[in-house]
Structure 1
Amino acid sequence: MHDVIDQAVSRRALLRGASLLGAGAALGGLPLVARAAEDGIAAQWPAVTAMLDRYVSTRKLAGMAAAIGWGTAAPGFILRGKEGLDDPDAIGPDSLFRIYSMTKPITGMAAMILVDEGKLTLDQPISDLLPKFANMQVQVTPDGSITDLRPAKTAITVRHLLTHTAGLGYSIIQKGPIKTAYESAGLVPGQVTRLPLPELDRGRPVRSLALFADRLAEMPLVYEPGTKWSYSVGLDLMGRVIEVASGASFDAFLKERIFDPAGMTSTWFQVPASEDHRLTGNYSPMMGMLLPIDPPRSSVYLDKPAFPFGGAGLVSSPRDYDRFLDMLTGYGAIGGTRVMSEKAVRLGTSNLLPETVNTAGTMVGGAGFGAGGRVGLGALEGTYGWGGAAGTVAFVNMKAGLRAALYTQYMPSDAYPVHAEFPQAVQADLAKRRPAA
C-alpha cells in the first residue's frame, strides 16, 4: 500500500458514515433493494466509483470491488464487472480473490497474539526457536557474490521478521546469484500460474514450512539484520516461528485463533472444490489485452499448497477480509467476540521499526512499519495496511474507525497504479465529506 488517508475523520462524520453505510443491511436482501443500497454507497464515494468504472468499462480489468466500512457498521460494497472476462457471474462481496501479500498483516497479527501471551517477544532472537539461524552470514555486497560473506553482527529477531528488517531476501526482489540460489532451493513465495510464462515463473517451492525454514537458514543474508528495510520472505518464515512457539501448524493456528473467532468463513490457503465457482480469474495485461494466467476452474489455488505461505498464500473475499479489518478497528473485538487483546492490536498496528533501520529509497520511505503492514507517521498516524501482488489493497484508519479495501486480479501489480490510486480516491472522497471546522 502506498499513500493513505492524511488525517482522522471527525467523530460526527464517522457516525454519519456509519449510518449511511449500515442502512442497506437493515433493508433486507431483495435484489432491487441491494442494488439501491449499492448505488447509494457509490454516490457517497464518487472518486472510488469513478476509479472502478474507468478500469472496468475500458476492459483494462475484468472486474473490481471496493469494500468500505465505518465503526461497527456492515461494509458498503461498490461492485463492477465480472469474475472473469468470459464468466457470467458478476463480481460480488463473496467473490474470491488471490490476496497475496495482504496475507502478511494476518500473519503479523497471529504473531502479536503470541507476543501478547508471552510465547514470543519482539526482540527475541528467532534462533531460540529455530537454532539453525544462530550463526548467519551476510553478503559483503548485497545481491553480489554468495561466497564473499562475513558473519552477521546482529541476531535476527521476531521484530525483524515482522518488519522486513531481518536482511532476508525475496526471489521477486533480489537479483543475481542470490535470486538464483533462492529459486534453486525452492525458497519462493508460491506459484502464480500453470502456464510456462518466464516473467511469472517463481520456481517450485519446497514441500513443507519446516524445510523452507531450514533451507533459508543456509542462505546468506542480503543485509545486516536491523539496518535496512528490504521486502523479504520474513513473514513466510514467521509462519514457522508461529508453529514452533504455538505447537500448532501455522494454517491451523490461523483458523483457530483468527478466522473462526472473527467469523471469516471464506479465507483459505486452498479453495475448496465446492467454492471454485466464486473464484475470480487472474490476468496479465499484455499489448492492450488481458491474458488469462490462472483461470478459476483450473487455478493453482485449487491444489493443496506446498506449505501455507504466510507472506502471500491466502485467498479471501471482500466480505471476509473486511471482518479482519473490522476486528482491527475494533481493537481486537468483532461482533461481541474478542479475537485479540486491545494491547496486541495497538502494538501490531504501531511503528515497530528498529531505530537503526534506513527506509530511504524503499516503498515505505517516510512511513513506519508494524506487524506485516505499513504504518502512517505524523499526520498519517493511525493508518495500517498493505497490498497484494494481484492488485488488491487494504488499510484501516484506527483513529477514524475506517476500513477500506480494493479487490481485482492482474499481474504484475505495477502494470496499473491501482495501489496508489485507491487510497488517493478514498482520501479525495473523505475530503469532500469532512464538515468544515
Structure 2
Amino acid sequence: MNMMVSRRALLGGLALGGAATMLPRAALAWKADGASLYPATNSFIKGFVDRRELAGTLAAVGKGQAAAEFFGAGTLAMDSQTPVGPDTLWRLYSMTKPVTGIAAMLLIEDGKMKLDQPIADFLPAFAKMQVQNVPDGSITELHPAKTQITVRHLLTHTAGLGYNIIQKGPIKKAYDDAGIVGGQVSRLPIPGFPPVTPAASLAEMADRLAQLPLVYDPGTQWSYSVSLDLLGRVIEVASGQAFDAFLKARLFDPLGMTSTWFRVPASEVGRLTTNYAPFGGALLPIDPATSSIYLDPPPYPFGGGGLVSSARDYDRFLAMLLGEGALGGARIMRPETARLAMSNLIDDSVARKGTFIEGQGFGAGGRVSLASSPTGEGIYGWAGAAGTIGFVDRKRGYRAAGYAQYMPSGALPFQEKFGETFQKDVMG
C-alpha cells in the first residue's frame, strides 16, 4: 500500500511506531576542494552531520559551465558506512518542478503549444471549470471560472488548482478521495493518517482533477498546487509521448543525466539515501533505501515531485540553464527560450502575500528573484520536500544545490538557510 504523507502532517509530530534510529557520535566527512572554496557553505552543511542532526549532506557548486565542486559529510544512512558523494541518489520531490517546466518550454519552442494557450485545447475536460466561492470552503458553493486555465498558469502555480499538502477541509478530502497527490513518501503505514490510493495514470489523474472545483480563479492568486503534475499530462498530449519518455528523450539523454529516474533501478539501490523524519532528538527512517517506495513503479510520473537524482546529474541540468539552453556540445533549447523560462512569468496583479514567493516572482516551475529581492535579479530555482534545494544565479554566474534527506523540510534549517549561506561565499 502506498502511504502518502503531507509535510504538514510530519511537521505536526507523528506517533510513529518502531525504535528511533539514534545518531552516531562521530561523523564521516567527505572531502573535496569545494570545502575550501566555499567555506561558509561547507561549514553550514557539515554542521548538521557534526551535530548528529542528519545522516549525510552534500553541496554541488559550479561557476559558469566549469566542472562542479562537490563537498559534503556523512553517509547514505545512519546505519551505513558509505559516504555521500556526487553520485549518491536523493529524492528530489519538488526540485522536479523546474524540470517539468523546462520540458513544457521545449514544446513551446517547438510550436506545439503556446504560453498563453488554454489547456482545454489539449484536455477538453478543463474547458468549463468551477471555482470555490470561499477558498478551502464549501465544494458545492461555486461560481464559473472567470477565465480559462493556460499553460502559463500551470507553469507558475496560478491556475487556481489545489494541493493535498496545502488545502484544508472538503477540498483536501476531495483530492485525497480522487487520488490526486503530488508524490509518494513511504511504504510504511503511519498511524493517524489514512492511506490515499493514487490515480492509476496521468490521464486518469487529469480526468479526476477536472471534475473538482478550483480553489481560486485562474490568474489571480499564487497557490502551490498540482499544476506541474497536470502539466505532465498536457506535455503527453502535446508531444504524443509518455511524459517520462519525453523527459528522457529531450532532457536526460542529451544532457548525460544517467542517474535520474522516477523509479530507482534495483541495481542502483546501493547509492540511494534513506529518508528520515527528525523526531524527539532522533531520526526516524520513514523510507529506508533497501525497502524504498522509489524501488516500485510509481502510479504515474509525478511532474511536481517524483524524481530521484544525483547531485552530478542535477548539476548538469542547472549548468544547461546557466548556459542558456546549452551544455558542452549539446543545445537543448534556444537562448531566448531559456531566458524566458527563468524570467518572471506572473503579473504584479497576482496575489502572493503569505505564500512561498512573497516579494518574489515565478518562472517555468521555479521561483525567480526580482530587482527588489535581497540578492537582486537573476536567481531561478526551487526546493524539495525532503530538504533539497537547487538554483542558478545568472547575475553572478553560479549554480548551486544542497542535498539532505529529511521530512518535513522545515524541521531543520538546512534548506531554508542554504541559499543565504551560499550567498555569503560568493557575495562576501
What TM-score results when the alignment is normalised by the length of structure 2?
0.91
1:214-225 to structure 2, matched below 5 A, reads 214-225=207-218
Consecutive unaligned residues of structure 1, counting only runs of 5 or more, are: 1-34, 433-437
- The count of aligned residue pairs is 398
- The aligned counterpart of 1:402 is 398
For residues 202 and 373 of structure 1, do their structure 2 counterparts lie closer, same or farther at Cα, with a shift above 3 Å needed?
Answer: farther
Letter in 1 for 2:147: T
Aligned mates of 2:321, 2:144 — CA distance in 1: 39
- The aligned counterpart of 1:197 is 190
**Which residue of 360, 369, 381 maps to 2:377?**
381
Aligned mates of 1:251, 1:94 — CA distance in 2: 21
SS at match of 1:380: coil
SS at match of 1:243: helix
Q: What is the CA distance between 1:363 and its match in structure 2?
A: 1.0
Aligned mates of 1:114, 1:202 — CA distance in 2: 36
8 Å CA contact 2:278–2:407 kept in 1: the answer is yes
1:8-407 to structure 2, matched below 5 A, reads 38-198=31-191, 203-378=196-371, 380-407=376-403
Identity %: 61
Aligned mates of 1:402, 1:431 — CA distance in 2: 11
8 Å CA contact 2:30–2:74 kept in 1: the answer is no
Q: What is the CA distance between 1:58 and its match in structure 2?
A: 1.4
For residues 353 and 87 of structure 1, do their structure 2 counterparts lie closer, same or farther at Cα, with a shift above 3 Å needed?
Answer: same
Letter in 1 for 2:365: G
8 Å CA contact 2:318–2:399 kept in 1: the answer is yes
Letter in 2 for 1:115: I
Q: What is the CA distance between 1:189 and its match in structure 2?
A: 1.4
For residues 334-365 of structure 1, give each alpha carbon's deviation from its aligned partner in whole angstroms, at most 9, with x where no partner exists. Answer: 11111111111101000001343111111101
Letter in 2 for 1:165: T
Q: What is the CA distance between 1:431 and its match in structure 2?
A: 2.5
Letter in 1 for 2:422: V
**Which residue of 393, 410, 413 maps to 2:409?**
413
SS at match of 2:382: strand
Aligned mates of 2:346, 2:413 — CA distance in 1: 26
Aligned mates of 2:392, 2:57 — CA distance in 1: 19
SS at match of 1:172: coil
For residues 265-295 of structure 1, give each alpha carbon's deviation from its aligned partner in whole angstroms, at most 9, with x where no partner exists. Answer: 0000000011011000000000000000000
For residues 414 and 217 of structure 1, do their structure 2 counterparts lie closer, same or farther at Cα, with a shift above 3 Å needed?
Answer: same
- The aligned counterpart of 1:27 is none
Q: What is the CA distance between 1:417 and its match in structure 2?
A: 1.9
SS at match of 2:400: strand
For residues 169 and 37 of structure 1, do their structure 2 counterparts lie closer, same or farther at Cα, with a shift above 3 Å needed?
Answer: closer
For residues 37 and 232 of structure 1, do their structure 2 counterparts lie closer, same or farther at Cα, with a shift above 3 Å needed?
Answer: closer
Aligned mates of 1:93, 1:206 — CA distance in 2: 34
8 Å CA contact 1:171–1:202 kept in 2: the answer is no
Letter in 1 for 2:296: D
Aligned mates of 2:347, 2:121 — CA distance in 1: 20
What TM-score results when the alignment is normalised by the length of structure 1?
0.89
Q: What is the CA distance between 1:190 and its match in structure 2?
A: 2.3
- The aligned counterpart of 2:18 is none
- Greater helix content: 1
Aligned mates of 1:273, 1:354 — CA distance in 2: 45
Aligned mates of 1:144, 1:90 — CA distance in 2: 48
8 Å CA contact 1:271–1:315 kept in 2: the answer is yes
For residues 167-222 of structure 1, give each alpha carbon's deviation from its aligned partner in whole angstroms, at most 9, with x where no partner exists. Answer: 00000000000000100100011220111115776622111000000000000000
Aligned mates of 2:425, 2:131 — CA distance in 1: 46
